[in-house]
Amino acid sequence: MPNWTDNLLVSQFDSSLGTLDSVTITFSGYNTGTLSVENLSAGGGLMELAGSATFSLSSSVWNFTGSAVASHSFNAGAFDGRYDYAGTSGASFTNATGSYANSITLTSPADLSAFIGSGDVSFAVVTTGGSSYSGTGAAVVEFHQVAGANVSIQYNYSQTSVSSVPEPESYALLLAGLAAIGVVKRRRRD
């Protein structure tokens, strides 16, 4: 099962760049694997399989929770005498995939304050796997799953305006230009 926990650190926004207007957080996850079933009963019927991963991303400010479910159904015949997840009584679904995606944009000053500074913002990522089967009669079921997640943080900000301060060389060039104009005017008078 895709059960795992991780901590994610993201650098805070450097306020010397400007004023933080909003933070957009995008969180996505996937669950993929193989779902297999073999009907063991003397009669056939519909068999439904689902492999899932529940994702949670949280910080001190908010929490995302969602699920990625990979599911398949199969009309099985009576048990054919072989435990092979094939034939008329069994099936195997490879690359069964489910996905989850969500995003949020934070704009309140209270929410944004956690993202401003010179340190890191900490996020907890938790994934819990699950599986389910429903059908008529007895069955053997196998689930092999892998899950992964992705987090994207986007800082949207207004750039701080920078007033231009002339370099000393600019003043020297300006004075040389004014002196040259003065010399030309004086020669015209003479």
Q: pLDDT per residue over 146-181, tens digit each? A: 998 888 899 999 997 666 666 777 666 666 666 767
pLDDT in tens, 97-156: 999 999 999 999 999 999 999 999 888 989 999 999 999 889 999 999 999 888 889 999
What is the edge-to-edge ordering of all strands in the sheet holding 18-39? Answer: 90-106, 18-39, 139-159
CB distance 87 to 111 below 8 Å: no
Global confidence as pTM? 0.71
The tokens describing 77, both together, are 């015949």
Mean pLDDT of all residues belonging to the chain: 87
